[in-house]
Chain A
Amino acid sequence: MASRADFERQALKHIDQLYYAALRIAGDLGDAEDLVQETYLKAYKAWPNMVEIRDCKAWLFKIMINAWNNERLRRSKEIYLSEGENSELALAESGHASRNSNPEAQTEIRLLAEAAERALREMPEELRVLIHFADIEGFSYKEISDILSIPMGTVMSRLFRARNLLEKSMASFYPNPGPGSHD
């Protein structure tokens, strides 16, 4: 396990993913930064006692979700992404849009990803987060179940629902004969 020097090496390397997820969850740049910072400080505090960091990234996400749930509880209201809040997410993303040097691929990725982003905004948070964890972060059902503290069956059923919603809202991108043909 894990010395304190390991923390900087093993935990901080996930900061970009945590930040992106925090933007999606919190919606606000300031809240996202606070959430990431709080996540890391909590993680740092617990770090010396970690017997084995089998999956550091999932562990960090779990801390973040708990921290956000606590914050939400404190604010005593549900916070969903609003249009304005998401413009901050778009702002965060736009600063890095030029990284891909292949213009054609960049365009395709951007159009698809932007459409997906719009579709995700329309989803309830509980579904949006699942898409993020499964499709963007690549967590397994079991890992998502652990992170969100919900049963694996719930993860699977919600994820199925979320992806169907996403897929249908992406119909204009869909190749012939369209996503509804198999329904």
Chain B
Amino acid sequence: MIDCADLNEKLYLYLDSAIGKELKEEIESHLASCEDCRGRFEFLHRLRNSMRGRASSISAPQHLKEEILFEIKRRRMAKARKFAAFGGLGAVALLLLSLALPGLFKPHMKTSLGDFGVLYDSYIQGALKADFLSQDVDKAEAWFREKQFAVTLPRASLAGYDLTGVSLREVAKRHSAVSLYEDQKSKEKLAYIAFKDKKLNINFPRMEAVSGKYLFVTRHDLHSFVFWRDGALVNILISDDPEENLLEYARICVKLIDVGKPSK
């Protein structure tokens, strides 16, 4: 059994619920029998509640909330305008790569959204209306036109392509590299892609997670994102880069489509 001296050391742990069941029961047993310690515990409990009560009376000024919301909205609109003006084949090709693939926009995949998220948000709203979460490219195209994204949509995706065997040197000329990766445990062949173009200021990505058929790659600062499944590239997204970088990035992705060959 613990005594008052022991409790002095452990009472805070008890208050923080940072002890095991056994010790908790011992402390409660001691508190039940020791008026002094119980008084101290109750005081500390009251003290904490008083501090929390004081904290709950504090509100951030309304103008601060409004300023933050305004700034966020401003940034979002700036990006939306950038994309509306952008409107190039490359970017939308890039988007459509993902768009046209089955199951890609399941909720767990939203993590990959960066600057494209602005477009994506609109896309999702439209998608819900136009119901082209299916692979109906015509509907997708119609929706983009309706939204005045003046684009020509490529009617292809990388889903049926396997970049295995693509010459690294050849791809490197296009400022990017595709490498194969073999999972040491499963011996399954996966792949990763690295963007080396200094203009893009993209470092070699680090591997985020490898699990069976999936390989996620992100840049160290999480601004770019590559997603492979079953050895095929199924999604590339990037965020927070200047417009010229996005354009260049989109070109690279289009070139990757060009060099990718159907596996069969």
Chain A interface (Cβ < 8 Å from any Cβ of B): 1-5, 7-8, 12, 15-20, 23, 33, 36-37, 40-41, 44-46, 48-52, 92-93, 96-97, 99-100, 108-110, 112-113, 116-117, 131, 134-138, 140-141, 159-160, 163, 166-167, 170, 173-177, 179, 181-183
Contacts and interface: CB of A to CB of B under 8 A. Distances in A.
Contacts of A5: 121
Contact of B47 (A23, A159, A170, A182): A170
Contacts, number: 147
A1 B12 contact: no
Interface of B: 4-5, 7-8, 12, 16, 18, 36-37, 39-40, 42-44, 46-55, 57-61, 64-65, 67-69, 71-72, 75-76, 107-108, 110-111, 113-114, 117-118, 121, 218, 222-223, 225, 239-240
Contacts of A45: 240
In terms of DSSP, what is the predominant structure of the interface of chain B? helix
Contact of A177 (B36, B47, B68, B117): B36
Contacts of B48: 135
A15 B222 contact: no
Given A1-B108, A49-B111, A51-B111, A36 B60 contact: yes
Nearest to B55: A136
Contacts of A135: 48, 51-52
Contacts of A96: 57-59
Given A40-B68, A136-B51, A159 B12 contact: yes
B47 A116 contact: yes
Given A41-B68, A112-B46, A160-B12, 7 more contacts: A3-B121, A37-B71, A48-B114, A93-B58, A135-B48, A140-B16, A170-B43
Contacts of B44: 167
A119 to B, nearest CB: 10
9 contacts: A4-B121, A19-B58, A48-B114, A50-B111, A51-B111, A93-B57, A137-B55, A181-B36, A182-B8
B50 A108 contact: yes
Contacts of A92: 58
A37 B64 contact: yes
Given A113-B51, A175-B39, A182-B8, A12 B65 contact: yes
A181 to B, nearest CB: 6
A5 B76 CA distance: 11
Contacts of B7: 182
A138 B17 CA distance: 11
A176 B67 CA distance: 50
Contacts of A138: 52
B52 A7 contact: no
A142 to B, nearest CB: 9
A3 B55 CA distance: 29
Chain B CB within 10 A, most for which of A16, A176, A182: A182
